[in-house]
Chain A
Amino acid sequence: MREKRVPMRELSPEERVKSFAEVALGYSAEEAMLEAKRCLQCRDKPCVTGCPVGIDIPAFVQAIREGEFERAIAVIRESNYLPGITGRVCPQERQCEAKCRLGRRYEPLAIGALERFAADWERARGVRKPAKAESTGRRVAVVGSGPAGLTVAAYLAERGHGVTIFEALHEPGGVLAYGIPEFRLPREVLNAEVEYVRSLGVEIETNVLIGATYDIDELFELGYSAVFLGTGAGLPRFLSIPGENLNGIYSGNEFLFRINLMKAYLFPEYDTPVKVGDRAVVIGAGNVAMDAARCAARLGAEVQVLYRRSEVEMPARREEVRHAREEGISFRFLTQPAAFLGESRVHAVRCLRCELGEADESGRRSPVPVAGSEFEVEADTVVIAIGQSPNPIIAMKHPEIETTPKGTIVVDEHGRTSREGVFAGGDITTGQATVIAAMGAGKRAAKAMHAYLRGLSP
């Protein structure tokens, strides 16, 4: 019995900070089979209870162990449309791997790495023929092409419904396209998954903002029998402290949108610029913050992450934090920004030191700023990555679709909104969560939509 995982090969930190090439290199077939051998094949499958979409983990791991990679990917695809993506970006240490029995004494099985292996093996072979279902004659509109929308589209297309995805941006993928950098999720992986969804017959119309270009009534008039809203949580939050609109201060979304979607890291070959000075400060400690920090490091800045709580409360995936540290990014905990200083461009962040007080509603001890503890951190670039709120455009246009005070769309357990025929799922219903949670919500809603479509009189 190997106590430790088969390690995954990675680019060295020195190589990484020079490019946007993928950091984690994946398992070879031998490595994957060796890691798969560690699985205990627990009969009660605790790992599966930790998976938001319920992949039959022991079954696909067993297939890998036997070298039956085709069977492995087939098992995964029964429950997950985007395995190449989730294998790379899921917070496995809080999901399946947290429940893995091996973890009681040893390192848990590297489930994410194995999932990724199976997906990459399949993509490298390049043959994936979707089974075409007979057309039901029904059409469905999916709003937003993030993981929630892609999942709904694939599920319904497989069952013979005509599906059109409407996406506001010029490229599909949602956060996978505009937020998560190439060094974590190469675009060829995303593109292959999007192509697969297209190969099922799904049409993707980019440059369509629902609520503006079309409203939901028009979608029904155009002959769509049901609508899914997967519009995500894309509204950046700011701190509302003095100096926040100085030059050089970006929201996490703006910074990552420039770099990832618009490829500003390749300026001037690409037209969209991004300015990253010598000293960048990133505020926040989630995935957005880690991605922003690591992008800034690759663009040549010395990077510091400021977080108002302590290290253990950091919400980012553990691997991202480790990678960030290896890449020379430093962390300053229990630090809260109070003001940004500068004339035209920011030159420093005035901060307060915090202490941990009582536990808040999230169960985490909340930071309390210490009076008189001000100090300044030099910075010519600041990225504010303290979270995003739900996209408000549809709710503003359609008050009949009920929302919470936080702006999330209210749905029942089947993803039904307060408007008949309109379903929703993903970050727009939960607030910022995870790729896999968005896919899970998409799948639940898709099932309900399928039933709804079959129940409609022809």
Chain B
Amino acid sequence: MRSVIVHKEELAPGYKLFVIRSPQVAKKIQPGQFVMVRVHEKGERIPMTVADFEREAGTITMVVHEVGKTSRMLAGLEVGDEILDLLGPLGKPSEIRHYGSVVGICRQGTAGALYSILRALKQAGNRVTVIMGAKSREYIIFEERMRGFCDEVVVATDDGSAGMKGYAVAALREYLKKNRVDYILAIGPTKMMKTVGRIAKEHGIRATASLGAIMLDGTGMCGACRVTVAGSTKFACVDGPEFDATEVDFDELQRRQEFFREEERLSFELYEEGT
């Protein structure tokens, strides 16, 4: 099945949005699911969340954050280019139902991954608030799209150039002082999600985190993505990627994410030298 880029947009420095024609994936995808992508013949397989989809048009949208070689190569593709391999939809869909009052929390590009889930939660009758964190104003991504349906949009920047000054988790604490919340959904850096899990536990609120475990096949065949949740091992690609944020061993996740750091750096340096 061919997957062709039909639209590309720069959202912020190092963040690109792609709309990709991939009709069968677009037909089947549910909010919270992801695809595995490979961009060249000697390339690795990496997971990318589907931020949005249009079943009629047969397209899916993803937001790519350039952090290393593969994401940079992906970000370098242009309209009309084909994505060599794209497999999906993978993972369990986000659990969409009526919780009551819902808060989504993200940082920079992960707003993309949160977007279609929050929209579906809104359609399911929830009151939806999104807390968007970023380094500075220019890294607040998807704000307009979120304002399109969210009941409340809270912005927090590290430097105070937009919204509140500080981290998103600080904004969450503030928000919880004044509002009743029934469900929190966190997608972002592991440290952020760990803090969200702790806050949710303190407040006795149900919370979910979408884990960025290292993946290889993405279909349950390797166990590279294993994470510990409530003391037992799960495969993030088939049992997740969303898990109870109050039960995830985030420290283990962080260590596992860093295991190939030296190799990733080498790969990136060689690539940058060559281009």
Contact surface of A with B, Cβ cutoff 8 Å: 168-170, 205-209, 212-214, 234-236, 238, 240, 244-245, 247-248, 250-251, 253-254, 257-258, 262-263, 267-273, 275, 344-345, 391-393
Contact = CB atoms under 8 A, between A and B. Distances in A.
- Most chain B Cβ neighbours within 10 Å, of A170, A250, A257, A344: A170
Contacts of B264: 273
B217 A257 contact: yes
A262 B23 CA distance: 27
A397 B38 CA distance: 26
Given A170-B87, A207-B85, A393-B220, 15 more contacts: A170-B45, A208-B1, A208-B87, A209-B88, A213-B28, A213-B88, A214-B28, A236-B222, A240-B233, A248-B259, A257-B217, A262-B216, A270-B42, A270-B44, A392-B220
Contact of B219 (A245, A267, A275, A393): A393
A243 B31 CA distance: 33
B203 to A, nearest CB: 28
Interface stretch (B121-129, B164-172, B223-231): B223-231
Contact of B233 (A170, A214, A244, A345): A244
B70 interface: yes
A262 B85 contact: no
Contacts, number: 111
A240 B226 CA distance: 12
Contact of B255 (A206, A257, A268, A344): A344
A253 B216 CA distance: 10
Overall SS of chain A's interface: loop
Contact of B44 (A235, A240, A253, A262): A262
Interface residues of B, number: 41
Given A245-B256, A247-B256, A392-B220, A212 B88 contact: yes
B252 interface: yes
Contact of B24 (A214, A247, A262, A269): A214
B266 interface: yes
Interface string B37-58: 0100011110000000000000
Contact of A271 (B42, B233, B238): B42
Interface string B258-275: 011001101100100000
Contacts of A212: 28, 88-90
A169 B219 CA distance: 9
